[in-house]
Every structure is written in structure tokens, then in C-alpha cells.
Amino acid sequence: MANLKELRTRITSVKSTMQITSAMKMVSAAKLKRAQDAIVQMRPYANKLKDLLENLSASLESSAEGKYSEQREVEKVLIVAISSNRGLCGGFNASINKKVIQLVGGEFSGKDVTLYTIGKRVTDFFGSRNFKIMNSNITIFDKLDFEHSAAIAEEVMEAFVTGDYDHVVLVYNQFKNAAVQIVQTEQFLPVKPIESDGAVQLDYIFEPGKKEIVLEMIPKSLKTQVYKALLDSHASEHGARMTAMHKATDNAGELRDDLSLIYNRQRQASITNEILEIVSGASAQG
């Protein structure tokens, strides 16, 4: 059993840890508010634009117009995996790594799979293993905006158009609330035309013209899809870290209380023993 000095040292250490985790929780909570506002405002626009993209793709005629919706036999697959740059956020990053491994060994088993890693954690994880990596980006979250995310989307779109890959999917954490993040596997390319299930198809009037609208709208929609995934992941990271630090603070508080109880009991026992020794000594002299 630890002596009193060791217990005091452990209690002090736990209190210091509590201060750190509590501070990290508050920082993540402040960052979460901004990140949550960004994705909540962006999501309706992105979803509507995606629906529009699928409707447009169903009506494309020429190969030039439909270069992003060209269906090919899937041999070469690109997985765009999005994680965070830092840890201490529970299973946030591990869930992405696990999902990618599941896809490689399951749905895309036997295919030529390449990764595009976004975030330091997923880059380090797969970079140290035998995985093909097309490119990596660990700076996007330093300044997350549409311009920087569009550059990533353009790189992936160009690789699909040139035939480097037949199928592209996004793997990221979708933000639901501070405590819940849902791992999403979302087809990015080729663009899936809307499926006919008996519903009325929308008939658009194109102005100035169908070709001009399509050539402008489809790339913008794809870039918006990537931006939304990054915003989702960014908000999910802060939510996961806030929740993890909250649990860590609570656990540290319980450990501190347990150690304090043990310390007080041992201190009381030590004082009692000293009193008994004094009484015994006095009795022996008398």
C-alpha cells in the first residue's frame, strides 16, 4: 500500500490533470459553437444542391456534359478519408481508420484501392502501413474555407475524369450533436443519377442554356459536397473532444475522491498508532 507521501503526490497529479481536461473541454465547447453554426447553415444548401445535381445528371446527353457521371466497371477505387490533426477526442479518429479498413477488406476487396488522407491522424495511421496514398493534406483545418476545400475536390475530380480512378467515396464523421458522430461512407464520383421510383421527375427550364448551366453547376456541387464533409468532420471533432474531456474530468474527480479517502484513512490510522505508542511508552515508564 502506498505511503502518505505517495498518496499526496498522486492526488496533486490527478488535480493537475483535472485542470487540464476541464480547460480543454471549455476550449472545445467554444470552438464547437462556431463549427456547429457553420455546418448547420451549410447543410440545407449542400443537400439541395446535391439533389439538383442528381436530377441534372439524369438528363445529361453528351459525354462532355456527363464526364462526372460516367459509369465504369469498378477496378480502381479512391477513398477520401477525413480525420483530425489532434487526438484526445475519444474514438473519433479510430472510427475512420476502422471504416476504411472495413471497406478495403469488404466492399472493395480485390479492387485497386488508393487513399487520399485528410488530417494528420489518418495520414500517420495509413502512412505507416502498406496502403497506397494518392496525396495527403494535414493543413486544411488550419484555415477551413471553401477555397481550400475546392482545391482538394478539383484534384480528385481531375483524377476521376482522366481515368485514374473509377469510383471515389468520402469517409468522414457526420455531426449530429456534441455526443453523437456518425461515420458516413458517401459516394462522390461518379455522380449517381436520381433513381426513378415512381416519383415525379423535375423538369428544369435552363437559362441561358442547359450546357452552360450543367458545366457550371456540377463542379460547384461536387466542391460543395467536399466542403460539407469537411465542416461535418470539423464540428464532430470538437464535439467528440468536448465529450471525451468531460468524461475524463469526471473520472479524474472520482479518482481524486477515492485517493483522498484512502489518504485520510491512512493518516487517521497513523495518528492513532502514534497516540498508542505514546500511551504505551508512558505506561511503561509509570
What does the alpha-carbon distance between residue 179 and residue 29 come to, in Å, rounded to a whole number? Answer: 12
Directed axis angle between helix 210-285 and helix 146-161, to 10°?
120
Buried b vs exposed e over 224-234: b needs ≥16 C-beta within 10 Å?
Answer: bbbbbbbbbbb
CA-based max dimension of the chain: 114
What does the alpha-carbon distance between residue 35 and residue 182 come to, in Å, rounded to a whole number? Answer: 16
Handedness of CA 154, 159, 163, 167 (dihedral sign): negative
Is residue 89 part of the annotated active site? The answer reads yes
What does the alpha-carbon distance between residue 240 and residue 250 come to, in Å, rounded to a whole number? Answer: 15
- Residue 81, classified by CB atoms within 10 Å of its CB into exposed (0-12), middle (13-18) or buried (19+), is buried
What does the alpha-carbon distance between residue 32 and residue 92 come to, in Å, rounded to a whole number? Answer: 15
- What strands lie across the sheet with 167-177, from one edge to the other? 132-137, 112-118, 76-82, 167-177, 180-189
> What is the C-alpha radius of gyration for the chain, rounded to an integer number of angstroms?
28
Q: 78, 89, 96, 169: which one is catalytic?
A: 89
State the Cα angle at 15 between 12 and 18, rounded to 5°. Answer: 155
C-alpha grid cell, residue 266: 491512512
Q: Name the residues annotated as catalytic.
A: 89
